[in-house]
């Protein structure tokens, strides 16, 4: 599939447009650096362009901020860098050791991620191994948390699932296959606060009853997560939190 772009000022912004028969309004938001647009199927492209023209400054500013955050999200795992874990900002602390092995510890009380590395090791090696190790730690911790929270919310909502899987995704927090009742979550969810994770879990479970993002769907989600609209807005605005 050829990727689509939209020209806004001096930027060619990747865009993903979806048409829904049941949609009553246009929704415009970013997932990663891609502009996502959902619109009623009956709305013409000419009308959509007029709407986008009115939102041009806002879209441009958000895109520029995302590009800046993507650059800052490329971790070198050095002293002073920050990363989110369980909804809090943790400091990266690099220590040098004599043992020829890279080791990573998470100090939750101090809000520190300590990366111990051998002396005289090249930076590219540190980055390669630290990237892999941090991703594995986050994946394992996310899996452990989902294994507790998903059955809990399934019981509360009465919405059943078959199995869940943790994937290294940075463009979406979760997804599901209602036909198989399988649910998928980003391995980076452990970076979010638990109330955000619960909202994502309930969102995916509610797709077992309602496939599309219509009023019935959002009504069901809000039944269990009363401040879902607020959390959903936060997640869309801060999706770059799970990038590194």
pTM given for the model: 0.73
Looking at per-residue confidence, does 224 or 7 come out higher? 224
- Residue 71, pLDDT > 70, answer no
Q: How far is CA 203 from CA 122, 128, 211, in A?
A: 43, 34, 11
pLDDT for 1: 44
pLDDT for 30: 87
Domains of the chain are 4-71 (no CATH), 140-242 (3.30.2010.10)
Rounded percentage of the chain residues whose pLDDT exceeds 70: 97
* Nearest partner of 217 among 228, 203, 231, judged by Cα: 203
And the tokens for 8?
């806004």
DSSP state of 241: G
Query: For strand 34-40 and strand 11-20, is the pairing parallel, antiparallel, or unpaired?
Result: parallel
pLDDT for 67: 76
* Mean confidence (pLDDT) of the chain: 92
pLDDT (tens digit per residue) in 200-244: 999 999 999 999 999 999 999 999 999 999 999 999 888 878 878
pLDDT (tens digit per residue) in 168-181: 988 789 999 999 99
Task: Name the strand (E) or helix (H) holding 181.
Answer: none
And the tokens for 224?
């269990």
Q: How far is CA 76 from CA 97, 100, 126, 239, in A?
A: 18, 19, 8, 20
* Nearest partner of 167 among 181, 140, 187, judged by Cα: 187
In this prediction, residues 176-203 reach a mean pLDDT of: 96
């Amino acid at each position: 599939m050829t990727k689509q772009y939209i020209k806004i000022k001096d930027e060619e912004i990747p865009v993903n447009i979806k048409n829904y028969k049941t949609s009553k309004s246009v929704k415009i938001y970013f997932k990663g650096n891609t502009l996502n647009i959902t619109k009623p199927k009956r709305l013409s492209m000419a009308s959509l362009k007029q709407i986008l023209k009115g939102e041009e400054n806002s879209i441009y500013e958000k895109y520029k901020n995302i590009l800046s955050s993507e650059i800052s999200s490329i971790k070198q795992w050095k002293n002073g860098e920050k990363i989110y874990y369980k909804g809090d900002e943790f400091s990266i602390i690099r220590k040098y050791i004599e043992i020829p092995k890279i080791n990573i510890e998470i100090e939750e009380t101090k809000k520190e991620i300590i990366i111990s590395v051998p002396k005289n090791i090249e930076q590219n090696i540190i980055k390669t191994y630290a990237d892999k190790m941090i991703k594995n730690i986050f994946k394992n911790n996310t899996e452990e948390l989902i294994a507790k929270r998903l059955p809990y919310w399934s019981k509360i909502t009465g919405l059943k699932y078959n199995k869940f899987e943790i994937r290294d995704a940075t463009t979406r927090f979760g997804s599901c296959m209602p036909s198989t009742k399988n649910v998928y979550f980003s391995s980076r969810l452990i970076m979010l606060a638990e109330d955000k994770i619960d909202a994502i879990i309930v969102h995916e479970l509610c797709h077992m009853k309602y496939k599309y993002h219509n009023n019935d769907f959002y009504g069901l989600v809000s039944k269990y997560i009363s401040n879902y609209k607020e959390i959903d807005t936060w997640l869309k605005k801060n999706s770059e939190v799970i990038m590194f």
